[in-house]
Structure 1
Amino acid sequence: MLAQLKSLIKGAENWPIFIKNKSEQFEARASMVEIQESDSIWFADMADTKAPIAVVRVVHYLKMITNNKLCYQARK
């Protein structure tokens, strides 16, 4: 999973990690996407960019550091 590689990915310092819940259910895939020309402010100057995107169906917990506090958030 890409979140496990965040120490190797520039700008990924604040990515959450997923930890197992009791059911141990998890499904993930990576897809390569290409951003096309768009008027969207979210994709300004990103035309022709190719990037891997994690696609996840989670029955796990997100483990995040927020303001130096460890936070857990249940996901369904």
Structure 2
Amino acid sequence: MSTSTSGSGPTGTPGTTPNHLKPGDEAMAGTPGTGEDLCPDCSGKGKKADGAECPTCEGTGRITQGIGGG
């Protein structure tokens, strides 16, 4: 008997790092020259005004964006 723990990580939980790009991300988390920021569409709440999950950050309230020039 084996259990698989692979697959998508938790979403909707600030501080977690999903292993894919969300629509609002400019790069994968941990990419040099990037940082975590509040989602501009939901102001970091993870939900839109109507209570639905924010599609930009997939409910995490956070996006990854470029912080450096180059």
TM-score normalized by structure 2? 0.25
Q: Which has the higher helix share?
A: 1
Q: Which has the higher strand share?
A: 1
TM-score normalized by structure 1? 0.25
